[in-house]
Structure 1
Amino acid sequence: MKRVLFMLLLVLCASPIIAQTADSIPRLDQKTRKVLNTQDQASYQLALRYADPLVARTKLYELMVRNPEDLRYPELLAGLYFENNLYTSAALVAMDILSVNDKSVGALEIAAYSLEQVGALDRALPHFESLYLLTGDNFSLYKSAFIQYSLKRYDEALNSTNMLIKNAKADDKIGFNTSEGATQEVSMKAAALNLKGMIYLDKGSKPEAKTAFEEAIQLDSTYELAKENLKKAQ
């Protein structure tokens, strides 16, 4: 994991390549490019049909080199890498897309979740924050708050959880693993209160932590994680 992070950081420090490609590749005439694009797009679709992601990715690379201004192809490539759990590659492609279009929701999602998967939390955080600002998605706000908590940025984490407690809708849900290995779905507001309690617990403020855990349990009486955390706050 440390080697993956090191390599990722090295590449992220390099200049994004998508924005440079358009000026560095000789352009084909329009008719030739159209014919080659049609062939590669057909090959890409066949590779997907026959569950051959390597060939699919190869065809996307060829389409990207030939059409550097078209972000559809790197977006598809980032998605393929992500779907195949190749998170470092997915993150790098998504970051290059964002260097051209920093409001691409798909690229933000792939960058955020991929960077989180490889343990680069400090780099994942701004993408989750941008996702929330662009979409208003409360799950992105929860992810931001949890990463802030994980990075011990407690004031930011408390601010995010308080926003989430205020803004969470009644039908917003989030899943957690139980001690038996099952998944328990709880309300987003209860999850935010539980996270708020965890932050206070880390800060050594047990009375505030206990209050937050109790409020979470009041909202979801079967919330197993909140009950376990409450015991730590006694």
Structure 2
Amino acid sequence: MFSQKLTQEDLTTIELSKHKKIVKQALTYNDAQTAINSMHSIVALEGEKSTYKDSLAITYYNIGNYVSSHLLAKELLKEKSENIQLLEINAVSLQNLGATKDAIEAYEILFSKTKNMAHGYQLAMLQYGIKRLTEAQNTVLQALQCDDIENAYIQFAIDKTKNQNVPLKAAAYNLQGLIAFELKDNTTAKQAFDEALKIMPEFALATQNTNAVTITMQNEAQLSRSANKSDTDN
């Protein structure tokens, strides 16, 4: 019998095959950490251009390891700047890490490419959160002009124990109302809250908001009448 000497290339091929089987098996059984370990081995064997870096970024993202998913996505986007999945991983990861300004920049790029209502809504929320109200107003208006996404919902807390799933478009109108209210544009705010309630009449937060803006408008009208009466009396 003759023995065949294996080359380093042969050994690398065998090792790669083994780790790729482990990745497939681990993901089948929802064992993300084992899959990640083998993906790292594959990347080490294949080098910097390994396509498994994309899979690694996705897996980190799926298990909520947003630091690692952001770092990988950021690296990969240097050569794959048009990759929507990587752009989304990067934006959402930054958002979950609380890096608001960086997340806004990432969502601006993402939304400009996708024109996706969900991406526009998240961008407007981030802008609204740091009081960039004019930008948020423009963004939510653009989001509302995007195609509606079927079965897309945003979760809102009703109280400490209950949440409510709200259609994305209704949530976007509610956000538009909040921004307008902050900008002292009560008429637009009331119209936006009403639109949200047309989509979902039981939307608790929009109901509270429309009641609040209605009271504000009534109080302003009463103050205006009192001021006019005072001027007339004088």
Question: In structure 2, which of residues 18, 21, 35 is the aligned counterpart of residue 39 of structure 1?
Answer: 18
Does 2:95 correspond to 1:87?
no
Q: Could you tell me which residue of structure 1 aligns to residue 122 of structure 2?
A: 143
TM-score computed with the length of structure 2 as normaliser: 0.76
Alpha-carbon distance, 1:131 to partner:
2.4
Correspondences of 1:207-218 after superposition (within 5 Å): 207-218=187-198
Alpha-carbon distance, 1:119 to partner:
0.8
Q: Could you tell me which residue of structure 2 aligns to residue 15 of structure 1?
A: none
Tell me the number of residue pairs that the alignment of Structure 1 and Structure 2 aligns: 206
Question: In structure 2, which of residues 71, 76, 79 is the aligned counterpart of residue 100 of structure 1?
Answer: 79
Does 2:169 correspond to 1:182?
no
Alpha-carbon distance, 1:199 to partner:
0.8
TM-score computed with the length of structure 1 as normaliser: 0.76
Q: Could you tell me which residue of structure 1 aligns to residue 209 of structure 2?
A: 229
Q: Could you tell me which residue of structure 1 aligns to residue 109 of structure 2?
A: 130
Alpha-carbon distance, 1:213 to partner:
1.5
Deviates more, 1:207-216 or 1:82-91: 207-216
Question: Deviations for 1:115-161, whole angstroms, at most 9, x for unmatched residues?
Answer: 11111121122322222233332111111111111121111111111
Confirm or deny: 8 A CA contact 1:216 1:226 kept in the other structure. yes
Alpha-carbon distance, 1:52 to partner:
3.7
Confirm or deny: 8 A CA contact 2:116 2:147 kept in the other structure. no
Question: Deviations for 1:56-98, whole angstroms, at most 9, x for unmatched residues?
Answer: 2122112112223545311111122122221111111111111
Q: Could you tell me which residue of structure 1 aligns to residue 183 of structure 2?
A: 203
Alpha-carbon distance, 1:164 to partner:
2.1
For 1:183 and 1:207, the matched residues in 2 are separated by: 26
Q: Could you tell me which residue of structure 2 aligns to residue 169 of structure 1?
A: 148
Alpha-carbon distance, 1:166 to partner:
2.6
For 1:108 and 1:59, the matched residues in 2 are separated by: 24
Does 2:27 correspond to 1:48?
yes
For 1:91 and 1:232, the matched residues in 2 are separated by: 39
Q: Give, as a single letter, the amino acid of the residue that structure 1 aligns with 2:179.
A: I
For 2:142 and 2:32, the matched residues in 1 are separated by: 41
SS in 2 for 1:55: helix
Question: Deviations for 1:12-38, whole angstroms, at most 9, x for unmatched residues?
Answer: xxxxxxxxxxxxxxxx96544433321
For 2:31 and 2:199, the matched residues in 1 are separated by: 47
SS in 2 for 1:167: coil
Confirm or deny: 8 A CA contact 1:186 1:223 kept in the other structure. no
In the alignment, structure 1 segments of 5+ residues that lack a partner are 1-27
Change (3 A) 1:68 1:169: same
Q: Could you tell me which residue of structure 2 aligns to residue 74 of structure 1?
A: 53
Alpha-carbon distance, 1:206 to partner:
3.2
* CA RMSD of superposed structures (Å): 2.5
Q: Give, as a single letter, the amino acid of the residue that structure 2 aligns with 1:99.
A: K
- Identity among equivalent pairs (%): 25
SS in 2 for 1:76: helix
Alpha-carbon distance, 1:178 to partner:
4.2
Confirm or deny: 8 A CA contact 2:193 2:209 kept in the other structure. yes
Question: Does 1 or 2 have the higher relative contact order (CA < 8 Å, sep 6+)?
Answer: 1
SS in 1 for 2:145: helix
